[in-house]
């Protein structure tokens, strides 16, 4: 597993970001750039599909926290789905799930964001 | 100018202090507290510019918490003497109408930009928490004593707020550190769970590596395992590392050091070694996958990430990686052991499956816990009928086998029996059985192993062949199947025929019982001699014997053994006749003919009745020579004479005309009494 890539698409008001690779400093920056770009266009609801990101480090987590803080300023929301157990555990322990939501599918995420 | 009364001024200050209380209560973030306090301060003392600086003791940096009239700045280093000089003004203010010489650098530049007149150090006990900087008063007036006093009161409240903020931030930092520690512990726990649940070496390697990379904030990593019988280290698993083409040898100094010292290393850019150069990486951390006796491999991670780039790994990282590797080594060792055991089990099973002997294992309770394919074939039962069954039930019809097993059970020694009738299957089935104790590596008895060899076919062959050949020949045939070709082949053999002269007329004067008794006595003596010299009893036709030497097994001295047999037969007949004379019975006189030549040998007959025999001209000539021989005479063909002339006395006779031959054939008579 190497190289981080992402795909951004929209489902109504929700921006879906699909990641592939290590969600570290590099990966996290790419995700935050994509989020901030969309926020500038007025988007506030973001769902990240982490199916192909099996490893997340604490730098990646801190970048997600930055995104959550920025979204809170505009009453936005961040959610995730398709998390590997190890990633979900990391998010829980690092307190990320207090301010963002873990869903188990895209459909559930879209419904939760509405 | 409007005169402001002292009472009005006091009221204004009290209002300011009241608002200060609200700012401190309402604001939940230090930034907003800072902004609120600064706005209030500047309003209270009627200044337009000012700033609150935060001092980070650990980083020794000043950052702007809130400012009015000051450009944004990144954290900067304070003047060297800031802390020592500020201490002199604890609970006081520094009048900076004229900037003192120790106020240097970026702080001086900020003060100039703000046109500051007053600097209040914000101390909590001995800790400098920050600075409150106030610019010149509106319209350039001087600050009054009351204004300075209220400024100091506000500064005091600001200090408390900053201290509280610092405490909160410390708690948050600690919380964050605790979360990270928890994550580390969870990771170690997960790996310990994986030890008992994941037994695939590749899957386990990935799991350990991925978790190590994630928990240590490394940018990439790999697990290196030595290639078998080679110094080359191969990536067993790698993460975020797609251009790994460097050839790594465990003879590299860094790997040797790690292996010898059984501890990991932190490699920094200051003293780049060969490994860092090969990998093209500056920051590397490496730890051995160490079991009690072996270094299974190495975990290698690169570039510890921070929010602002790459930093060096530290001892805490190494301790954590070592803990992960120690767990990982146990897990990998277990997985490898499991793989070895599985392979050994498969190997044993394939051996057990391929052998013809049935192998049955019993547990300590005497129940059958395994049986190989041959065992199932011999027992003519499926696995379901056998496994879990007690041997007492399985072999209930075979008392001898039960006794043998019980003996082995009681004495903890191996017992075996051969040629046992195996009634569990059928009375015709013959087996060799042995029972031996199953002993584990600690020497404990774990049950029994029973080996059953089905020798029914062998027994049949023996029973069949022993009528025709000696036991020695049967054993030789069974020992080496290659010698046994019963399918039909041309071979050179020596054929002996014997015939009792005048037996038909002799038997006319005897009752049937005497005829049978005479023949049995005669054949018994003759066949003993035949078997003694490993001849094959081909046929008994009436009073005639046909013996073959050289089939089914040939030897160099076939002809010589045939002649010796003939001589001994004549001599035994002499002795037999002496006994017969004593019993007032007529003597038996026998003629013998021997020939050697090419015959066709094999199982000849119908599907229902088949005998091993030889056919051909050479057989016929042997029979003719026998017919020609007189009572007590042994006639041999020239081929026989040629092979044995040096060992026996022969008399050359006139050639004789035999049926089926145009030419007369040469004949030699043995002087067997010599």
The tally of domains found in chain B comes to: 4
Residue B642 is inside which H or E element, if any?
Answer: helix B638-644
* B386 & B242 share domain: no
Question: CB distance from A57 to chain B under 8 Å?
Answer: yes
Contact B190 A54 (CB under 8 A): no
Place of tokens 């306090």: B37
**Structural domain includes residue B186:** no
Task: Kindly list the distances between the CA atom of residue B69 and the CA atoms of B33, B40, B44, B106, in Å, as whole numbers in the listed order.
Answer: 18, 15, 17, 15
> What pLDDT score was predicted for residue B669?
94
**Structural domain includes residue B347:** no
Question: CB distance from A65 to chain B under 8 Å?
Answer: no
How far does chain A reach from its first CA to its final CA, in angstroms? Answer: 34
> What pLDDT score was predicted for residue B474?
64
* Residue in A2, A25, A55 closest to B242 by CB: A2
pLDDT, averaged per 10 consecutive residues of chain B (674 residues), comes to 62 70 63 78 84 88 89 90 86 82 91 87 88 83 80 83 81 84 81 70 84 90 86 87 76 90 91 87 92 88 88 90 87 80 79 78 89 89 89 90 90 84 88 86 84 75 58 62 62 93 82 83 88 86 88 88 95 93 90 94 64 83 92 94 92 86 89 81
Question: CB distance from B239 to chain A under 8 Å?
Answer: yes
- Mutant choice from B171, B202, B307 vs A, greatest count of A C-beta within 10 A: B307
DSSP-H helix ranges across B198-311: 201-215, 253-261, 274-279
B330, B291 in Cβ contact below 8 A? yes
SS3 of B263-286: the string is: CCEEECHHHCCHHHHHHCCCCEEE
Contact B210 A21 (CB under 8 A): no
* CATH assignment at residue A12: 3.30.750.24
The parent domain of residue B521 ranges over 470-670
B367, B358 in Cβ contact below 8 A? no
> What pLDDT score was predicted for residue A101?
94
**Structural domain includes residue B113:** yes
Characterise B542 by phi-psi region: left (phi > 0), alpha (psi -120 to 50), beta (else): left
Measured between CA atoms, the residue of chain A closest to residue B177 is A94
Per-residue tokens: B451: 């080996």
**Structural domain includes residue B1:** no
Measured between CA atoms, the residue of chain B closest to residue A93 is B179
* B41 & B82 share domain: yes
* CATH assignment at residue B396: 3.30.450.20
* B570 & B542 share domain: yes
Per-residue tokens: B612: 């091993």
> What pLDDT score was predicted for residue A8?
96
- CB A1: neighbour CB atoms within 10 A? 19
* B439 & B474 share domain: no
Per-residue tokens: B644: 């044995």
Q: Domain boundary at B424, B454, B484, which? A: B454
In 3D space, the residue among B610, B604, B634 whose CA is nearest the CA of residue B622 turns out to be B634
* CATH assignment at residue B574: 3.30.70.1230
**Structural domain includes residue B383:** yes
- Mutant choice from B305, B308, B320 vs A, greatest count of A C-beta within 10 A: B305
* Residue in B183, B216, B306 closest to A90 by CB: B183
* B156 & B56 share domain: yes
* B209 & B257 share domain: yes
* B331 & B359 share domain: no
Q: What is the number of alpha carbons within 13 Å of residue B115 lying toward its C-beta?
A: 11
> What pLDDT score was predicted for residue A107?
94
* B442 & B490 share domain: no
* CATH assignment at residue B127: 3.30.450.40
Cβ contacts of A103 within 8 Å, gap of 6 or more: A47, A79, A80, A81, A109, A112
A96, A76 in Cβ contact below 8 A? no
> What pLDDT score was predicted for residue A46?
96
What is the SS3 assignment for A51? strand
Task: Kindly list the distances between the CA atom of residue B631 and the CA atoms of B587, B593, B627, B628, in Å, as whole numbers in the listed order.
Answer: 11, 11, 10, 10
What is the SS3 assignment for B137? strand
**Structural domain includes residue B100:** yes
Place of tokens 């199932």: B376
The parent domain of residue A30 ranges over 5-113
B433, B454 in Cβ contact below 8 A? no
In 3D space, the residue among B32, B51, B29 whose CA is nearest the CA of residue B120 turns out to be B51
* B162 & B214 share domain: no
**Structural domain includes residue B541:** yes
- Mutant choice from A1, A52, A72 vs B, greatest count of B C-beta within 10 A: A1
Q: How far apart are CA B313 and CA B303, in angstroms?
A: 8
Q: How far apart are CA B190 and CA B648, in angstroms?
A: 93
CB < 8 Å to B306, chain A: 25, 59
Contact A25 B306 (CB under 8 A): yes
Question: CB distance from A9 to chain B under 8 Å?
Answer: no
CA distance B319 to chain A (A): 18
Q: Domain boundary at B425, B454, B483, which? A: B454
Q: How far apart are CA B19 and CA B37, in angstroms?
A: 9
- CB B219: neighbour CB atoms within 10 A? 22
CA distance A68 to chain B (A): 16
B549, B536 in Cβ contact below 8 A? yes
Question: CB distance from A91 to chain B under 8 Å?
Answer: no
CB < 8 Å to B182, chain A: 93
In 3D space, the residue among B341, B345, B352, B364 whose CA is nearest the CA of residue B437 turns out to be B364
CB < 8 Å to B214, chain A: 55-57, 86, 90
> What pLDDT score was predicted for residue A1?
45
Place of tokens 């930092």: B173
The tally of domains found in chain A comes to: 1
pLDDT, averaged per 10 consecutive residues of chain A (114 residues), comes to 83 95 92 95 95 91 91 92 91 88 94 89
* B286 & B430 share domain: no
> What pLDDT score was predicted for residue A20?
94
**Structural domain includes residue B444:** yes
Q: How far apart are CA B291 and CA A74, in angstroms?
A: 54
Q: How far apart are CA B162 and CA B179, in angstroms?
A: 25
Strands B590-605 and B634-636, sheet pairing: parallel
Q: How far apart are CA B351 and CA B283, in angstroms?
A: 52
Place of tokens 């100039």: B112
Cβ contacts of B255 within 8 Å, gap of 6 or more: B233, B248, B249, B275, B286, B298
> What pLDDT score was predicted for residue B335?
77
Q: Domain boundary at B170, B187, B216, which? A: B170
């Amino acid at each position: 597993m190497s190289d981080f890539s992402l795909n951004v698409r929209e489902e109504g008001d929700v921006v879906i970001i699909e990641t592939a690779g290590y969600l570290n400093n590099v990966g996290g920056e790419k995700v935050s750039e994509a989020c901030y770009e969309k926020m500038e266009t007025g988007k506030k609801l973001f769902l990240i599909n982490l199916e192909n990101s099996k490893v997340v480090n604490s730098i990646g987590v801190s970048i997600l926290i930055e995104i959550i803080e920025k979204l809170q300023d505009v009453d936005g929301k961040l959610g995730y789905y398709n998390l590997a157990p190890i990633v979900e555990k990391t998010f829980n322990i690092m307190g990320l799930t207090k301010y963002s939501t873990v869903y188990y599918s895209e459909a559930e995420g879209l419904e939760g964001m509405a | 100018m409007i005169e402001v009364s002292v009472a009005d001024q006091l009221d204004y200050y009290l209002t300011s202090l009241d608002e200060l209380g609200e700012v401190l209560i309402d604001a939940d973030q230090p930034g907003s507290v800072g902004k609120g306090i600064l706005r209030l301060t500047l309003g209270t003392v009627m200044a337009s510019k000012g700033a609150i600086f935060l001092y980070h003791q650990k980083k020794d940096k000043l950052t702007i918490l809130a400012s009015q009239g000051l450009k944004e700045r990144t954290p900067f280093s304070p003047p060297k003497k800031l802390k020592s000089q500020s201490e002199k003004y604890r609970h006081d203010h520094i009048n900076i109408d004229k900037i003192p010489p120790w106020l240097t650098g970026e702080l001086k530049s900020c003060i100039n930009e703000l046109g500051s007149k007053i600097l209040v150090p914000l101390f909590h006990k001995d800790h400098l928490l920050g600075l409150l900087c106030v610019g010149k008063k509106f319209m350039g007036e001087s600050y009054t004593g009351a204004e300075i006093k209220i400024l100091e009161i506000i500064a005091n409240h600001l200090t408390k707020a900053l201290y509280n903020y610092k405490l909160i931030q410390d708690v948050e930092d600690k919380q964050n550190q605790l979360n990270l520690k928890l994550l580390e512990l969870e990771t170690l726990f997960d790996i310990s769970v994986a030890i008992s649940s994941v037994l695939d070496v590749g899957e386990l390697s990935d799991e350990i590596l991925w978790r190590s990379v994630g928990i240590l904030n490394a940018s990439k990593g790999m697990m290196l395992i030595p290639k078998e019988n080679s110094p080359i280290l191969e990536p067993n698993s790698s993460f975020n590392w797609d251009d790994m083409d460097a050839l790594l040898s465990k003879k590299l100094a860094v790997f040797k050091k790690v292996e010898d010292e059984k501890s990991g290393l932190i490699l920094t850019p200051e003293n780049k070694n060969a490994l860092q150069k090969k990998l093209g990486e500056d920051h590397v951390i490496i730890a051995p996958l160490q079991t009690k006796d072996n270094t299974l491999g190495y975990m290698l991670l690169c570039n510890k990430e921070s929010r602002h780039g790459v930093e060096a790994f530290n001892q805490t990282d190494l301790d954590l990686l070592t803990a992960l590797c120690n767990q990982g080594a146990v897990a990998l060792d277990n997985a490898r052991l499991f793989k070895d055991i599985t392979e050994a089990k498969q190997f044993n099973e394939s051996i057990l499956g391929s052998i013809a002997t049935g192998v049955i294992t019993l547990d300590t309770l005497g129940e059958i816990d395994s049986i190989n394919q041959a065992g199932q074939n011999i027992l003519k039962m499926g696995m379901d009928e056998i496994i879990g069954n007690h041997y007492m039930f399985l072999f209930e019809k075979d008392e001898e086998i039960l006794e043998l097993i019980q003996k082995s059970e009681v004495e903890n020694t191996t017992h075996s029996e051969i040629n046992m009738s195996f009634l569990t299957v059928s009375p015709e089935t013959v087996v060799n059985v042995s029972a031996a104790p199953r002993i584990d590596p600690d020497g404990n008895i774990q049950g029994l192993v029973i080996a059953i060899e089905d020798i029914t076919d062998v027994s049949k062959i023996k029973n069949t062949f022993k009528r025709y050949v000696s036991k020695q020949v049967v054993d030789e045939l069974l020992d080496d199947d290659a010698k046994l070709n019963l399918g039909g082949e041309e071979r050179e053999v020596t054929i002996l025929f014997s015939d009792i002269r005048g037996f038909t007329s002799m038997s006319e004067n005897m009752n049937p019982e005497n005829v049978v008794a005479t023949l049995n006595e005669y054949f018994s003596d003759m066949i003993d001699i035949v078997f003694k010299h490993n001849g094959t009893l081909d046929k008994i036709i009436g009073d005639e014997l046909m013996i073959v030497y050289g089939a089914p097994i040939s030897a160099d001295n076939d002809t010589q053994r045939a002649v010796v047999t003939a001589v001994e037969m004549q001599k035994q007949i002499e002795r037999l006749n002496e006994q017969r004379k004593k019993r007032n019975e007529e003597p038996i006189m026998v003629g013998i003919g021997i020939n050697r030549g090419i015959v066709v040998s094999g199982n000849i007959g119908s599907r229902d009745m088949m005998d091993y025999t030889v056919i051909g001209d050479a057989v016929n000539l042997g029979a003719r020579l026998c017919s020609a021989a007189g009572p007590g005479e042994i006639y041999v063909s020239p081929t026989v004479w040629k092979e044995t002339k040096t060992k026996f006395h022969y008399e050359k006779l006139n050639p004789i005309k035999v049926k089926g031959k145009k030419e007369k054939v040469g004949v030699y008579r043995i002087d067997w009494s010599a």
